[in-house]
Structure 1
Amino acid sequence: MGGGSVGRALVTGGAGDIGRAVARRLTAAGCEVIIADLDSDAAQQLADELGPTAAACHLDLGDPDSIDAAATAVLAGGTLSALVHCAGAAIVEPFLDSKPEHWDLMLRVNLRGPMLLTQRLLPTLQETASARVVFVSSDGARAGAAGEAAYAASKSGLFGFAKSLAREVARHDVTVNVVCPGPIEGRMVARTMADHPGNLDALQRAIPMKRLGQPEEVAALIAWLASPEASYITGQLISVSGGITMH
């Protein structure tokens, strides 16, 4: 995983925009990558593209049985040096119009599912020298965003989980960090802006860098956090947002 070290990594949501970029970057760095996604066909296509060091795995983070099956398959393949949580579910709607069943879906996929999967894989991570856990949350969860109250609630839950977990596993030389993408070009932004194209122009004007980010720009940070070079960084929330939100 960078720095000349070869590891084995699981990337959830690996067939998504950011997940694909992460899988490609880790593979290029010499890492064996397991691409886990709800879309099994897309995951397998990416694995075929990346070559013999990549594999695909079906994963539905909203289904505990699927999480258990995926964890069992991963553990059967050997040790794990990095767990990268890119998967997520987003339903954008004003809070007054939002539906509790949508809250439940996002809480299952964005928070409970990653917690369950991490719990299953943590023992092997703790046994691996300098293992890494990286969660992908959202800058909207960190700073708030209109229409994303329930989504932000589910994603911001990762903050407390990651920071607390980081304290528990530091003695095992395991780091845990959270990456918070801002507006990133891809399917999620396209989907949420489809009915309001004018909002996209307004959004880009509001970003100090005057453009959307690229999935590769998020993946670069994730891959670095998953590498030996980030050995003394843990429990941190790091935004990749073009400056639209600043600490």
Structure 2
Amino acid sequence: MSDFTNQVVFITGAGSGIGRATALVFARAGASVVVSDVNQSSGPNVVSQIHQLGGHALFVACDVAVPTQIEAAIRHAIDVYGKLDIGINNAGIGGKYGRFTEQTQSDFDQIMAVNVGGVFYGMQFQIQQMLTQPEGGRIVNVSSIAGVRGMPMGAPYSASKHAVIGLTKTAALEYARQRIRVNAVCPVYTHSAMVDELIQQAPAMEEKMRRMIPMGRFGQPEEIAQAILWLCSDENAFVTGQAIQLDGGLTAG
């Protein structure tokens, strides 16, 4: 495992699912982890788990749909730790399961505020800090397999995740010479609160979703977290602007 001792990691949506798994894997690798989440009970629970592992962590409440809250959370992390080595923009919502014409303006606006605005402003404030650091920094954004292909019954979600990849590639090009690497991961259905909510909306979809994946199973949050860790390691210093598909073979055909 790569050593992230003396590095500071800021993670949005870190109270559950992929965010929680990512917080724990970085803590085990020696990093100081800033756990950010809108949920003010699950976030502190993750911090407690990290402390039990002997790691360093703090919780910052943050609704990524509100840019001023993202800025305040990142500034607090920098005030406490003095720097920001890694930003993981993971917070997201799935939205309503329905056809294109059934989606409302409020459905669309909410998904864009969280899934796109949260990533855009998170990256903006993270990059501003990283530009002041000689060593630069690393950013990983959590997109989705719905960011590289269409997603019937989830048009706003698919649009938002395509946007995350566009933001990732653009920032990677703009800041490559400043030693800031920006990548994305694109998971297929992964065990998380978001997928559980989707299944609750359409229970018959669960088996169909599994059959779509050649491996015949959903992803595990820990598997996505390991890919994020890999993208942030110094051993992969030549990797930037990539959208890594973690899909059990779904897009291989």
**Cα contact 1:84–1:133 (8 A) shared by 2:** yes
Q: Paired residue for 2:182?
A: 176
Q: TM-score, normalised by structure 1?
A: 0.94
Quick check: 1:3–1:229 contact (8 Å CA) kept in 2? Answer: no
| Residues 75 and 121 in structure 1, CA contact (< 8 A), matched pair in contact too | no
TM-score (norm 2): 0.92
The answer (yes or no) to whether the contact 1:130–1:231 under 8 Å persists in 2 is no
1:213-238 superposed Cα distances (whole Å, 9 cap, x missing partner): 10111111001111112211000011
1:185 Cα deviation after fit: 1.7
Please identify, of 44-53 and 97-106, the stretch whose mean Cα deviation from structure 2 is larger.
44-53
What are structure 2's unaligned runs of at least 5 residues? Answer: none
The counterpart of 2:125, out of the listed 111, 120, 124, is 120
**Structure 1 residue 123, shift from structure 2 partner:** 2.5
User: Would you say the 8 A contact 1:3–1:228 is kept in 2?
Assistant: no
Equivalent residue for 2:68, pick from 58, 62, 65 = 65
Q: CA deviation at 1:197?
A: 2.8
Query: Which of 88, 95, 104 is the aligned partner of 1:99?
Result: 104
Q: Is the 8 A contact 1:21 1:215 kept in 2?
A: yes
Code of the aligned partner of 1:29 = A
Give identity over the alignment, percent. Answer: 31
Q: Give RMSD over aligned pairs.
A: 1.6
Q: 1:89 to 1:72 in 2, by over 3 A?
A: same
Q: Corresponding residue for 1:31? A: 31
Q: 2:86 aligns with which of 82, 102, 107?
A: 82
**Equivalent position SS for 1:30:** coil
The aligned amino acid for 1:12 is: T
Structure 1 stretch displaced more, 189-198 or 147-156: 189-198
Amino acid at match of 1:239: Q
CA pair 195-62 structure 1, distance change in 2 beyond 3 A: closer
Residues 1:145 and 2:151 are matched in the alignment: yes
The one-letter code of the counterpart of 2:117 is R
Quote the Cα distance in structure 2 between the aligned partners of 1:31 and 1:201. Answer: 38
What is the correspondence of 1:1-247 to structure 2 with a 5 Å cutoff? 2-3=2-3, 5-51=5-51, 53-77=56-80, 78-91=82-95, 92-126=97-131, 127-246=133-252
Q: Are the counterparts in 1 of residues 21 and 222 from structure 2 also a CA contact under 8 Å?
A: yes
Is the Cα contact below 8 Å between 2:4 and 2:26 reproduced in 1?
A: no
